[in-house]
Amino acid sequence: MPDSNFAERSEEQMSGAQVIAQALKTQDVEYIFGIVGIPVTEIAIAAQQLGIKYIGMRNEQAACYAASAIGYLTGRPGVCLVVSGPGLIHALGGMANANVNCWPLLLIGGSSERNQETMGAFQEFPQVEACRLYTKFSARPSSIEAIPFVIEKAVRTSIYGRPGACYVDIPADFVNLQVNVNSIKYMECCMSPPVSMAETSAVRMAASVIRNAKQPLLIIGKGAAYAHAEENIKKLVEQYKLPFLPTPMGKGVVPDNHPNCVGAARSRALQFADVIVLFGARLNWILHFGLPPRYQPDVKFIQVDICAEELGNNVKPAVTLLGDISAVSKQLLEELDKTAWEYPPESKWWKTLREKMKSNEAASKELASKKSLPMNYYTVFYHVQEQLPRDCFVVSEGANTMDIGRTVLQNYLPRHRLDAGTFGTMGVGLGFAIAAAMVAKDRSPGQRVICVEGDSAFGFSGMEVETICRYNLPIILLVVNNNGIYQGFDMNTWKETSKFRDPTAVVPPMCLLPNSHYEQIMTAFGGKGYFVETPEELQKSLRQSLADTTKPSLINIMIEPQATRKAQDFHWLTRSNM
């Protein structure tokens, strides 16, 4: 007699949405960020039913930023789920940011029904073709049965080699189409990338160049953080007494307060080093392309990178070490261990660096100690630094806010700083903070996320405050408010513009409305908001925010509108020839 249970199972149906969700679950996807609508709502529901966390955002760009940050923080891609046409287009900024930053990301976009293509369908757009420019891989499954194969390939491509963004296009008619359960074959979960090592001869040559350096410098990039190379690189620094300089998101691989960190003498270190070892750092604009006058013309670069195409960009390196940064740094340690050697801690090079560090730190402290109001950036950041938990995530974006904050706010752990990154993207802050808060909530309960924003940067994604409150994420937002982009007006100067019939002709493009109460956006959604103008108010509000782990908060910090690194002329009347 036939097995009736078997007969029932063989006829069991499932939707395309359920196939997508199961394929993601099989590939160890933990988080989906997105905005639902036609035709992807059912995908989000199916994913939740399988235990995948879905975080509904207010803008596709912010959702994509959050998903990409998950990739950096966990090593597995976060998913961004968007609707067709405009929804996909809004997410392109996040895809480009992930690809340039080299972070794993999987974007899933709904698209028009297949039988309506070229007919002017709802939100019809050439999505697969458009995404190729921003991704490592962009494809549409040919059938529902092909979905698990395409999703596995996208996940694998996003994390293998140099990580990056991938796109999978889902036609609207696939989502609710029913198929037989037995017709779907799921791919096994793709494993973590294989670990590659540098050639032994190249490692030997690199060790020789380091030993013979008169003025060596290690530069630690976010590639080293992503590769979890902190243990080996810290040993290199400490065992051989080498100075190191972190890039913005390389901060924390070795703690910023380590005595060998020369971040406070960055320009001097770059300009006069004769041997520079790059651990997962690219010689792009952040490092001035490796070219004079920022560097010595004859400086020897040792490049350590996972991507072969990166080796030799902008300079001719003395040695190239292709491979996983953690594995290669271990190879370097083992090679250097063969000969008793360390860089002399009392060398002229160390003396030069320490003198410059002392001088620059003194200048920063002098700026921070100024008692005049409104406060300046240094005063704000020094008071914030005093209270920051050592294990907190620091998210930072804005022009002066990010640049000056980087020099004062310290990181002690790897992968605990997120900022505008290689692409210099504004608007990433709240998405990154939400991603970091989700990771902290699941893996290190009680760990705080501090998001430091310029007022202009906050404007890009400010409505994500509602997302933060909806999921009750204990994020502390610090809006460093100078009433503008780079610089703004005080209220009195702003009022002078009222005598002009058309302010658009005279108000400088960088100015924003003075004394805007951004903290009220937080209180509107049930969080706590603070408007502060003095160091004492800043200290008190931050203390209260850190003590309350049940609610998010936003501290709106008013500073001198023309505050910057150095005094600059600021002519407010742009219509100067009229």
Shared domain check, 417 and 344: no
Shared domain check, 339 and 376: no
Shared domain check, 343 and 491: no
For helices 429-443 and 60-74, give the axis angle rounded to 10 degrees.
40
Quick one: pLDDT at residue 9? 55
Q: Which residues are 531's β-sheet partners?
A: 556
Shared domain check, 82 and 32: yes
Residue 576 in this model has a pLDDT that exceeds 90: no
Shared domain check, 114 and 33: yes
The pLDDT tens digits of the residues spanning 425-470 come to 999 999 999 999 999 999 999 899 999 999 999 999 999 999 999 9
Quick one: pLDDT at residue 565? 60
Q: Do the domain assignments include residue 550?
A: yes
Are residues 223 and 72 in contact, defined by beta-carbon separation less than 8 angstroms?
A: no
Shared domain check, 375 and 343: no
Report how far residue 16's alpha carbon sits from residue 178's, in angstroms, rounded to the nearest whole number: 6
Residue 503 in this model has a pLDDT that exceeds 90: no
Q: Do the domain assignments include residue 346?
A: yes
Angle (CA) 28 33 34, round 5°: 135
Report how far residue 470's alpha carbon sits from residue 337's, in angstroms, rounded to the nearest whole number: 53
The pLDDT tens digits of the residues spanning 40-65 come to 999 999 999 999 999 999 999 999 99
The pLDDT tens digits of the residues spanning 103-132 come to 999 999 999 988 888 888 888 899 999 999
Q: Do the domain assignments include residue 553?
A: yes
Quick one: pLDDT at residue 199? 98
Q: Do the domain assignments include residue 567?
A: no
Of 36-40, 379-383, 423-427, 502-506, the one with minimum mean pLDDT is 502-506
Shared domain check, 227 and 314: yes
Residue 394 in this model has a pLDDT that exceeds 80: yes
Identify the residue whose tokens are 């039913």.
49
Given pLDDT bands bounded at 50, 70 and 90, which one contains residue 573? Answer: very low
Given pLDDT bands bounded at 50, 70 and 90, which one contains residue 3? Answer: low
Residue 570 in this model has a pLDDT that exceeds 60: no
From residue 391, give the alpha-carbon distance in Å to each of 415, 416, 453, 497, 527. Answer: 11, 8, 19, 46, 23
Q: Which residues contact 150 (CB under 8 A, 6 or more apart)?
A: 139, 140, 141, 168
Q: What is the mean pLDDT of residues 485-508?
A: 84
What is the reported pTM? 0.94
Shared domain check, 209 and 174: no
The pLDDT tens digits of the residues spanning 249-282 come to 999 999 999 999 999 999 999 999 999 999 999 9
Domain total for the chain? 3
Rg (CA), the chain: 26
**Residue 18 structural domain:** 13-183
Q: Do the domain assignments include residue 262?
A: yes
Shared domain check, 295 and 244: yes
Q: Do the domain assignments include residue 209?
A: yes
Shared domain check, 204 and 273: yes
Residue 236's CATH number: 3.40.50.1220
Shared domain check, 212 and 130: no
Residue 213 in this model has a pLDDT that exceeds 50: yes
Pick the last residue of a domain from 183, 212, 237: 183
Q: What is the mean pLDDT of residues 164-172?
A: 98
Given pLDDT bands bounded at 50, 70 and 90, which one contains residue 496? Answer: confident
Q: Provide the mean pLDDT of the chain.
A: 94
Residue 416's CATH number: 3.40.50.970
Shared domain check, 259 and 388: no
In 399-511, which ranges are E strands? 417-419, 449-454, 475-481, 484-485, 487-488
Who has greater pLDDT, 244 or 496?
A: 244
Are residues 494 and 553 in contact, defined by beta-carbon separation less than 8 angstroms?
A: no
Quick one: pLDDT at residue 497? 78
The pLDDT tens digits of the residues spanning 314-368 come to 999 999 999 999 999 999 999 999 999 999 999 999 999 999 999 999 999 999 9
Q: Do the domain assignments include residue 566?
A: no
Q: Do the domain assignments include residue 364?
A: no
Q: What is the mean pLDDT of residues 8-25?
A: 89
Pick the last residue of a domain from 124, 155, 183: 183
Pick the last residue of a domain from 310, 325, 353: 353
Q: What is the mean pLDDT of residues 150-171?
A: 98
Report how far residue 171's alpha carbon sits from residue 110's, in angstroms, rounded to the nearest whole number: 6
